[in-house]
Structure 1
Amino acid sequence: MRRRPVATDTMSSDSESDLDFGTDDSNEDPVWHPEENSSEEDENVSDVIRDILLEEEREDMHSDDDDGTRSLHQWSEYVGRHKVFDFVGKKGVQIEISTQASPSDIYSHIVDEALVQFIVDETNRFAEQTIAAKRRSKHARMNQWIPTDSAEIKKFFGLMIWMGLVPLGRMEEYWETKGVYNMALPRTIMSRNRFQVLLSMLHFENNETSSQTNRLRKIEKLIDHLQTNFKALFYPGEDFVIDETLVPWRGRLVFRQYIPNKTHRYGVKLFKLCSTDGYTWALRVYTGKSATGEREVGLAKNVCTELCQGLLNEGRCLFVDNFYTSYELAQSFLQQRTHVVGTLRANKRNLPKEVLLAKLKRGEVISREDNDGIVVLKWKDTRDVRMLSTKHAPVLVPTSNRRSAPVRIQEDSAQPSTSSNPPQATRPRRTTHRLPTKPEAILAYNKGKAGIDLSDQMGSYATTLRKGVKWYRKLGIELLLGTSVVNAWVVYKNVTQTKICIRKFREKLVGELLNMPSSSSRPEQPRTKHHHLKDRLNDSGIKIRRKCSVCYNRITKEKGRVCARKEARQTYTFCEDCPEQPQMCRDCFNQQHK
């Protein structure tokens, strides 16, 4: 029986196979450190992989295909048999949008009126079903339920996004009227009880007509509607990427996944197709094994083929990590005029063993090419890097000077101890330099693969996700107020040609959803003119002394003009900013312009 490498990570029963999470994944293993892995251990690992691959090769030599012919893959030195495809597909924004569009205008193309009305209908329907079930006390808030509408749902979404910008520990603290949590904004939008009952009744499917065998019945219609809007609004460019992401969830769920090298290790896994600037174009929720316990065969290839529908045969290039990369995927996509670039695992079949088993020194590279122009290469940096590319030649290209700076890869040597205990022996410090050249395929991969990381990073800032007991509601909120907002942000930057951070975009979107007056829409207040006292001079520069006009007018009203001539104060100063520049003493000037 063929031996298989055994995964060292403990995984749930619903996770991927034991080969899904190797140390060669695109996300570097967080517990791996170069200084803790000796060359002796690397030699042992290489020997184990060599034995496994040699055994597979011997089995392949005696195995036949279904038609009785032996399966052979011809690999030779690189001679440049790459296929070249001209990019003829659509890219960028596909809808006419004004360059003066606001964030809510862009967002309304994704979460449109039809989708909002669908959420309103299903939320009202679920509330009626809940009331009819009569599983509540006579004092429950649901007894005063009032059907919602699209205007209220938009305000509800605006409040949810605002709560991500202003995070607090408990939901009730946003409506506190005393203490440090006294915030006026939520109370002006809706009451706390109304917000909480809307959150509990938020629904995306009719429970009475949905199929009980469909694991995604609670969320499928919402996903389909959003994907339709995603694809109608924006198209990726020539390069795009497919990878998985996790929506955090630790509750009970049959297809909950455990991925140890993710920030949130437990959750609902999504396969996403993103552009290089972070726009999510298509997605698929992974639902685990089937009800019979059978695992989907060829999952990685099927996911890529399904998500890429609409982008094939247009000369694009797909970037994937070692979970998806395979010789079969490269062959299939080449037949559909699409390039594939990705990292490789050492145990992949139908690949040249002389490349996978080669022992290289740091900076060396070895490669092979087949008749279709598929190149497999191995390059040695601090670790072995294996790549498959149908587009790039196995050539080394220079990197920037900044990348060639020295990098410390081990801890400092032992320092003198100030305590009475003797110092512990540590490994000496060893410093290495980043290599000045890298294979062209690796540089292109690092650039193309960043799209999905950017999408996840922007979605994590000011996230609206909170703890709950309904997995579909948490996933729906992530898609409506996370992924959709990031997509709207990408389109907004493309349309308006302005640089704006995701947090500022969320702030503007909240203000427009909640109908808050913006600072730019306020009428300008006339500036207060500053008045100044100045000495009145004649043509010769001599000060002119006159009665204070304010004193004179006041005394005239009180005592008459004769008394005013005698009692009004004499002064040299006048206000040059007042009409007619009247003579004023300092006391009257301060009284008039206070």
Structure 2
Amino acid sequence: MFFTNRLERTRKMCADFKLLITPAMVNVVVQNTNKKAEKVYREWNKKHPDALKLWKPTHEEEMYAFIGLLLISDVYKSSDESVSELWSLNNGRPIFGSVMTENRFKSLLRFYRFDETTTRAARLEFDKLAAFRDIWTMFQTNLKNVYKPSAFLTVDEQLVSTRARSSIRQYMPCKPGKYGIKIFWCCDAETSYPLAGEIYVGRQPGQSERMNVGELVKRLVRPWCGKGRNVTMDNFFISIPLAEDLLAKRTTIVGTLRRNKKEVPSEMTETRGREVSSSLFCFDWQLTLVSYIPKRKKCVLLLSTMHHDDAVSAEHEGKPDIVLFYNETKSGVDTLDQLVRVYTCKRRTRRWPMVLWFNTLDCAGIAAYVTWTSKNPEWNAQKSQRRRMFLMECGKHLVDIVLQKRAASPPQSLPYTVRKTIESMGTATSFQQSAASKDEKAIPRRCVFCGRKGDRKVKTSCITCGKPCCNAPLRL
């Protein structure tokens, strides 16, 4: 679909993003952020009565503008760049200083909250994720409602890197960040759209049993069971009982299987006397197990309820079709993690809820981009940086309302540097508009202060309200 109006196109792009980061979610953040800031300022004013501080309440438009600046910062790959550098007059980006002041941005970062802090202690008694649970639940609901996945899904894990102190932080030496918060995702294997996610918190307070991996997979794929889809996963998740349970719900699986499973025949794990690129198949009801030798003394086991033959590909060194299919569909979550790392809006923080929030915004940006391009496949199809362009247009639209209001503020309340920055971006300020009106041939009108009694006709007007006004009121 082709949009002749660029503003209308950008508005629809941003609408896809707001379907994921909804006003309801933003209002939860607004309310709790204001409560936290007011509490901190009350405590400050009690201790420092001679230096009182007043918190200016934030609102939905400003919070969306804050999110828009984060999206723009991830386009510039400025996650490791200090806030002061982003607002610098010499080396910064004009759009940041045009939307809000540096101190306001830092204050919002400082007081950002996602739950009611006064009731958090009670909720932590049974939920380690209490500080972020409400926002995460709303986000998961939005992800399911926006997009219809393809026939192939992928289940895997993402490690959100952080060194913040938290009981839910995990150590995974095989991951780039090593330390972080683990999220199990179910993604579309073709587009890497995040369909459902579950944050790993370990054992909840009062819980004795360990996490059941099979039940985890069932929870992730439950909304899409019974529709003939396939789920690809690695040997951490897959098992024979899980394959049978999902098959009963008309959902097939393909994935690697660990050699120590009791259901695996010993002949399938033997490597002696077998040639490289050879395969050994085992069939049981609707389960197919293949043992493939990629190199000497190495055996790879794959389980499939989707394939029911011993087909191999001569074009790919005799690899079984099961192996080829697994390689094609296994990277849905890995691609999501890679996309998040390429363009991320995260800022340096010691608070783990903020770490999850930045990752949520990154995933929402990817999901909105997939949704937009699936509906408009011809949009900039020949360009290689489509996602970068999408995030930039989305971010600019989110900050536009606050930017326009700031540009329309009276000239005397707008600092010179800010006014010049806004004008350099092509947005007209109230100073420019008043100057332009002076250049026009003005029609004399009666001064509203002198009235008919004075009957003084003037060409000047008030810079605040625009009504005709002479210089006499200034001498009072």
* Pairwise same-fold verdict (TM > 0.5): yes
2:305 matches 1:390? yes
Q: What is residue 232 of structure 2 aligned with on the other side?
A: 319
Q: Which residue is 1:486 aligned to?
A: 366
Instruction: Report the CA distance between 1:270 and its aligned residue.
Output: 0.1
Q: Which residue of 1 aligns with 2:88?
A: 176
2:263 to 336, 350, 363: 350
When Rg is computed on C-alpha atoms for both structures, the one with the higher figure is 1
Partners of 2:249 and 2:14 lie apart in 1 by: 38
Distance 1:496 1:184 in 2: 31
Tell me the CA shift for residue 100 of structure 1.
8.4
2:30 matched to which residue of 1? 120
1:398 Cα deviation from its structure 2 partner: 2.7
Aligned partner of residue 324 in structure 1, secondary structure = coil
Cα distance, 1:388–1:137 mapped onto 2, change above 3 Å: farther
* CA apart distance, 1:381: 0.9
2:324 to 443, 467, 470: 443
CA distance in 2, matches of 1:307, 1:163: 32
Q: Partner of 2:3 in structure 1?
A: none
- Write the letter of the residue equivalent to 1:184: P
Of 375, 397, 402, the match for 1:495: 375
Aligned to 2:280: 366
1:267 aligns with 2:177: no
Tell me if structure 1 keeps the 8 A contact 2:192–2:336.
yes
Inter-partner Cα distance in structure 1 for 2:349 and 2:267: 52
> Which residue of the partner structure matches residue 148 of structure 1?
58
2:310 maps to a residue whose letter is V
Alpha carbons of structure 1 residues 376 and 285: separation in structure 2 relative to 1, 3 Å: same
Pick from 324, 336, 345 the counterpart of residue 455 of structure 1.
Answer: 336
Partner of 1:296: 210
Q: Is residue 351 of structure 2 the alignment partner of residue 470 of structure 1?
A: yes
Aligned residue in 2 for 1:108: 18
Deviation at 1:358, TM superposition (A): 4.7
1:377-456 → structure 2 map (5 Å cutoff): 377-382=290-295, 383-398=298-313, 435-456=316-337
Alignment partner of 2:160: what SS? strand
In 2, distance between residues paired with 1:392 and 1:146? Answer: 62
Cα distance in 2 for partners of 1:341, 1:514 equals 44
- Report the CA distance between 1:99 and its aligned residue: 8.4
Contact preservation (8 Å) 1:119, 1:202: yes
CA RMSD of superposed structures (Å): 2.6
**DSSP 3-state at the match of 1:208:** helix
Letter in 2 for 1:108: K
Contact kept? 1:242, 1:320, Cα under 8 Å: yes
In the alignment, what sits opposite 2:395? 510
Distance across 1 between alignment mates of 2:171 and 2:344: 21
Q: Residues 338-392 of structure 1: CA distance to partner in whole angstroms, max 9, x if unpaired?
A: 1111101111222222212353220111121113x11111101124211000111
Return closer, same or farther for 1:305/1:182 CA change in 2, 3 Å cut-off. Answer: closer
C-alpha distance in 2 between matches for 1:270 and 1:399: 38
CA distance in 2, matches of 1:270, 1:455: 12
Aligned amino acid, residue 449 of structure 1? K
Q: Secondary structure of 1:260's partner?
A: coil
- Residue 141 of structure 1 contacts residue 193 of structure 1 at CA under 8 Å; is this kept in 2? no
Structure 2 Cα separation of the partners of residues 437 and 469 of structure 1: 51
Q: Deviations over 1:195-228 (max 9, x none)?
A: 0000111111001223121100111100111111
- Whether the aligned pair in 1 keeps the contact of 2:269 and 2:299 (CA below 8 Å) is no
Distance 1:385 1:101 in 2: 49
Please say if 1:212 is aligned against 2:124: yes
TM-score (norm 1): 0.61
1:228 aligns with 2:141: yes
**1:452 is aligned with what amino acid?**
V
Contact 1:327 1:351 in 2 (8 A): no
Task: Please tell me whether residue 338 in structure 1 is matched to residue 251 in structure 2.
Answer: yes
Instruction: Work out the CA distance in 1 between the residues paired with 2:204 and 2:141.
Output: 26
Cα distance change of structure 1 residues 510 and 143 upon mapping to structure 2, 3 Å threshold: same
Match of 1:252 among 165, 175, 180: 165
Q: In the alignment, is the contact (CA less than 8 A) between 2:254 and 2:306 conserved in 1?
A: yes
Does structure 2 retain, via aligned residues, the 8 Å contact 1:242–1:318?
A: yes
Does the Cα contact within 8 Å between 1:394 and 1:439 map onto a contact in 2? no
Alignment-mate amino acid for residue 321 of structure 2: E
Contact kept? 1:458, 1:502, Cα under 8 Å: no
Cα displacement (A) at 1:240? 0.3
Equivalent in the alignment of 1:95: none
Per-residue deviation, 1:248: 0.7
Higher helix residue share: 2
1:515-554 residue pairs with structure 2 within 5 A? Answer: 515=400
Instruction: Confirm or deny: 8 A CA contact 1:461 1:503 kept in the other structure.
Output: no
1:465 Cα deviation from its structure 2 partner: 1.2
Question: Identity over aligned residues, as a percent?
Answer: 26
- Secondary structure of 1:154's counterpart equals helix
Match of 2:153 in 1: 240
